[in-house]
Structure 1
Amino acid sequence: MVSKTQIFLGKIALRLLPSLYLRSQLKKSNTTSSQNFFLTFDCDTDRDAEAAINIQSRLNKVGMRAGYAIPGELLRNHWDEYQQLLSMGGYFINHGYRKHAEVDLSSGRVYSTFTYRDVDDAVWQQDILDGHHTILQLTGKSPSIFRTPHFGEFNSPAQLQKLYIFLAKLEYKASSSTTPIFGFLNGPIYKEKNGITELPLSGSLRKPTQLIDSWGFIAAPDALGREQLVAELGDYLSKFASGKKPMTNIYFDPADIAQDEELLDLLTNFAPYSHPGYDKYLDAKMS
């Protein structure tokens, strides 16, 4: 587990020399495989259910498979829609149980209603358990991959250590809950000492501490801008096309991009490099 000091110094290094990020991801990536692009979606509000189905339908046309992190409460409330994802090839990631975001009807903005950062350990642990049991009940299969709500809000070394210990007790295989600085310091995929594999989310190649997601570039009040997101994805795509294959782990909120034809076309261009999913990666490692 990295320390707070290592995280602080790592962020300074990336601000001074952003190229260090790509160099580290290439060095620790699987250079023998072209399938180094992972795509997932966080379905945090009611409006994401239909959007997720539309996106996976689009991905299916080019043979891409995505993972879906869905709070158990939303999964249950929209099961008619979400169960279709399984038949379409998608897979579920435990994202806790409680709905942790709402949409402001007047502005259309998404705001947080629940975060692990602000509650006692027993509360977030119960939320993970409730999410786990919901997926098991609805699908008949226990989930083995977890993602915390709200990236960056539960990322201190102490919080992550407690998270991994708890996930290990539940016999989870993996987590994808950390920000790009962890990928820089530890590698794009790494295993904690208790056996949990962590898959950090990827950062901008121009500003590596910036997570590439639809919240930061499209939906947040201080969003960096959709055109900048297009440019960031283009940066990664050009690296893959040139033969460089950094392990890349990107997620979006479905409703943010479901109607954006340019962004969807850009994502489907990653099809030749797209990995079939965290679950398939873990199965291959254990076989």
Structure 2
Amino acid sequence: MTHMHAQPLDHAAGAPGTIRPVIITGLSGGGLSTAAKVFEDKGYFVSQNLPPRLALELVEMAAAEDCPVDRLAVVTDVRAAHAFNASLPDVLEQIRASGIDPFILYLEARDDVLIRRFDSVRRTHPLQSTQTLADGILREREELQPVRMTADVIIDTSNLSVHDLRRAVEASVGELPANRQHVTIESFGFKHGSPRDADLVLDVRFLPNPYWVEELRDFRGVDRPVSDYVLSRPGAEQFVDNVVNLLGGTLGGYRHEGKDFITVGIGCTGGHHRSVAIAEELGRRLREPGNIEVTVLHRDLERS
């Protein structure tokens, strides 16, 4: 769910002194890092985990007429505030008092979702202390309520995949430059489940598994011996060609539908060998024309 409390973000890009900084904040585990990556991909200067008082200084520096930065996003939360004994609401008021109108993007999620996210990465909540995780989340909600009330956009990430969140951030902030499409190639192992945010999932288990070649078993698809083995198998080169052609014929349609971020999942059994090698080769091939941004991720490379 996305709530908008003000006009969409409107920049005067390239006009020094007219910058409208984006403040990305909200609940720990709400997706702040993912939101920051969206702005980074769109050409923003992004500063993460900045103490609130330093955020004020950075915003004022960016607003100076001689500053070359015309797009700024700052990620700050209660963890940074507590570490440096600062109040995030107070600092935001100081930014406004200096004549700068920040665009506040606030991310949150349901308690049960946040608890599950913290449990999955085995982290404690920054405000948990000796109490329960639920107590830490409640305390954070209460401290950030004044910020939430003044936010320009509030996004509930409870039911959003990473891919959905990226799209929600872009849709919520209105005018963001979309000069190039971004394709993420993500290798994975089917035994760990398919990626939820993939737009297209492809299976490369038709290729011989290097795991059963004793001298290759301890290598991974990012290593040259495995890569050479996988790519030299019958059907591998044709598969890569077909995927490149498939994407070449569909990216224009995705763009027409307003979709600039596409995720392609490449799966094998464990996500160690075949899918990794194919994903790396696809990334290399897709980067060649230079008209799209390509990221290659290996979800299960380190998993047993």
Name which structure has the greater RCO, CA cutoff 8 Å, separation 6+: 1
Q: TM-score range by the shorter chain?
A: under 0.3
Larger Rg: 2
TM-score of the superposed pair, with normalisation by structure 1: 0.28
TM-score by length of 2: 0.27
Higher helix residue share: 1
* Higher strand proportion (structure 1 or 2): 2
